[in-house]
Amino acid sequence: MHRRDKYFYVAVAVAVVAISILGNAYHAFHSATVAQQAVAAGQSIGYTPLDPAVAAMIAVIPPVLVLAFTHGLGILIKATGIAYSVDETVLPR
């Protein structure tokens, strides 16, 4: 694989995760704001809403973990390939 191809797929992964982070944060912030406004107006929504900033911070955790796990998987695959090639050079079959 050419280096530019690798960077293209890394850029696509980062872009998709960035969009997910922004979408999750916006949705959580907006939902928490609406819930706080409902509670302030005297409505019972069945729970105490989080602060919108806290809700947004919690909502970005899953896409960040997806990016971290994807990166970790790539590292493990590369390490496995290196270990296999070293094993073949030391102990040819």
Structure tokens at 80: 């496995």
- For residues 54 and 15, the answer to whether their CB atoms sit within 8 Å is no
What single letter denotes the amino acid at residue 25? A
The whole-number pLDDT of residue 79 equals 86
What single letter denotes the amino acid at residue 66? V
Structure tokens at 32: 């928490």
Cα 5 versus chain centre, distance: 22
Residue found under tokens 């409902």 = 38
Contacts 24+ apart (CB under 8 A), 15-23: 17/63, 17/64, 17/66, 17/67, 20/63, 20/66, 21/60, 21/63, 21/64
Taking only the tens place, the pLDDT of each residue in 16-57 is 999 999 999 999 999 999 999 999 999 999 999 999 999 999
pTM: 0.75
Of the ranges 8-22, 27-41, 77-91, which one carries the lowest mean pLDDT score?
77-91
**Residue 36: burial class (beta carbons within 10 Å; 0-12, 13-18, 19+):** middle
Domain range annotation of the chain: 3-90
